[in-house]
Amino acid sequence: RYRGLTLVLTFLCYTSYHLSRKPISIVKVSSNLAPAAGRGGHGDGDNYKELFGALDNAFLVAYAIGMFISGIFGERLPLRYYLSGGMVLSGLFTALFGLGYFWDIHVLWYFIVVQVCNGLVQTTGWPSVVACIGNWFGKGKRGLIMGIWNSHTSVGNILGSLIAGVWVSSAWGLSFIVPSIIIITMGIICFFFLVEYPEDVGCSPPLHHVRVTSSEKDPEAVTSNEGPLSVSSQSSVDCSNSPEEPTEEPEAISFLGALQIPGVVEFSLCLLFAKLVSYTFLYWLPLYIVNVAHFGAKEAGDLSTLFDVGGILGGIFAGLISDYTGGRATTCCVMLVIAAPMLFLYNHIGQNGIGTSIAMLIVCGALVNGPYALITTAVSADLGTHESLKGNAKALSTVTAIIDGTGSIGAALGPLLAGLISPTGWNNVFYMLIAADVLACLLLARVVVKEVRGWCGCIARKRGSSVQLTESVLDGK
């Protein structure tokens, strides 16, 4: 019951985060926001592309920088207070952006400052919700659960677009104020109902690792951490009415301590390039479809959502496969390897008809966003509860923040690089994306080798056990 409540609440919380940050991408294209921000000594609105670029970069850079700090605070403050406070503040700054319309503000710096503040407080969301989910779900089924749960990003984007579209042509300020009311309301609900730890309600925490005891003599009973996971009890949470024995509160891990956890650096750098590709598509795909396929603006917008649909499917597929095999890095690497030629094909044949465009967008979305979704959810939770921490769960938020913060640098760089490269031709933009995909794959090489060795060792032990069993049967005869 409590696990389901935590899953639903964190889903709705992060849906509201994305719902509140989405309206600007709708309003800046379809309204008079540019002239509003451009007057007052900052131009007459003709330089609207530069103004919008400044607003986007203000948010993304602040988000990337703030993410590294956010995780440290998240480990040292109650997650319920931290998440609820962050949602209320996010709603406040989102509302302030929209109030610029009603207050008749025409100063660019007002909107940039609000965007910077909003980018900073929005970093409270991701480390907190991943830490909460990681506290409740063990490694065994974490990938599939988080793959489905991670669809909140797309749900939030879709709802944010629909809500912003209602008032975008009449009073665009309401396109921000209404989402701000929603996220503040969700923050209040989160404050009263979110349960951070299973122990808080008399439940035992999930097993994040396979524990080998002296009674387990059979080498087949337990596989390595890099091999297939066959212990279903890893994701179970047992609840009882008996009070938990008081235990000493572990200290939160330091930033450098989190970096020393095996795999954190590799997955962080991998996500930098994976998120670079994903966010370049997010910001530039509609324009690419308009320019190359010559669709109208509305048709291009509708088609671009298929990339998000593919991302949902890719996240679920990546989580399911990585749960079955136990190879998070290998799953990411394989999808990234396949994504590179698919991006090349999409650029060359993806616009040959509506059917081809739909199919290629879904495939590319799945292959690009699948690894991105897996790393920011299941992998972050795995590393935040790594066996090297010896049961100390006070690392989830910091590890998640480091990984997603590094990825956010790529999110800021991707659209910026695309803007600089696109005048030389869209082919060059896609070559840049393919190169980023290949680099993301190469950065996981060491972890992939470790996982493959774990599988080989597991197969060798099983083969040895089978030979011993056969010999003992023959001897018995």
pLDDT, tens digit (0-9, with 9 covering 90-100), for 276-302: 999 888 778 877 887 887 777 667 777
In sequence order, which residues have a C-beta less than 8 Å from that of residue 396 and are 6 or more positions away?
75, 127, 130, 131, 134, 135, 380, 381, 384, 385
Distance of CA 54 to the CA centre of its chain: 24
From residue 161, alpha-carbon distances to 34, 101, 227, 340 in Å are 18, 19, 42, 30
pLDDT grade for 215, boundaries at 50, 70 and 90: very low
Higher pLDDT, 257 or 206: 257
> In 3-state terms, what secondary structure has residue 248?
coil
Q: Quick one: pLDDT at residue 350?
A: 78
Summarised one tens digit per residue, pLDDT across range 384-432 is 766 655 555 567 777 888 888 899 899 889 888 888 888 888 899 999 9
Q: Which residues pair with 239 in a beta bridge?
A: 203
Where is mean pLDDT largest: 21-30, 96-105, 147-156?
Answer: 96-105
Q: Which of 207, 235, 230 is nearest to 3 (CA)?
A: 235
pLDDT-based confidence at 12, cuts 50/70/90? Answer: very high
For residue 359, what pLDDT band results from cuts at 50, 70 and 90? very high
Q: Give the residue with greater pLDDT, 154 vs 128.
A: 128
- b vs e for 432-452, b when ≥16 Cβ sit within 10 Å of the residue's Cβ? bbbebbebbbebbeebbebbe
CA 380-270-433 angle, 5° bins = 135
pTM equals 0.75
121 pLDDT higher than 70: yes
What pLDDT is recorded for position 397? 76
Mind listing the domains of the chain with CATH numbers? 1-31+47-199+253-457 (1.20.1250.20)
Bigger pLDDT: 200 vs 227: 200
pLDDT of residue 21: 87
**pLDDT value at position 233?**
39
> Which carries the bigger pLDDT value, residue 304 or residue 32?
304
What value does the mean pLDDT take over residues 109-137? Answer: 89
* Most confident among 200-214, 219-233, 255-269 (mean pLDDT): 255-269
At 68-85, the pLDDT tens digits run 888 778 777 888 999 999
Low-confidence winner among 202-206, 372-376, 447-451 (lowest mean pLDDT):
202-206
Q: Give the tens place of pLDDT for each residue, 13-49.
A: 999 999 998 888 777 655 556 656 554 444 444 455 5
Q: What is the mean pLDDT of residues 437-462?
A: 88
240-276 tens-digit pLDDT: 444 444 445 555 666 787 788 888 899 999 999 999 9
pLDDT band at 156 (very low <50, low <70, confident <90, very high): confident
Which residue did the predictor score with more confidence, 422 or 179? 179
Phi, psi (rounded to 5 degrees) for 239: -110, 140
Tell me the C-alpha distance between 53 and 415, whole Å.
9
Give 77-80 contacts, CB < 8 A, sequence gap 24+: 78/196, 79/128, 79/131, 79/132, 79/194, 79/196, 79/397, 80/190, 80/191, 80/194, 80/196
In the block, residue with structure tokens 């949602």: 87
pLDDT at 253 (0 to 100): 66
Mean local confidence (pLDDT), 89-98 = 96
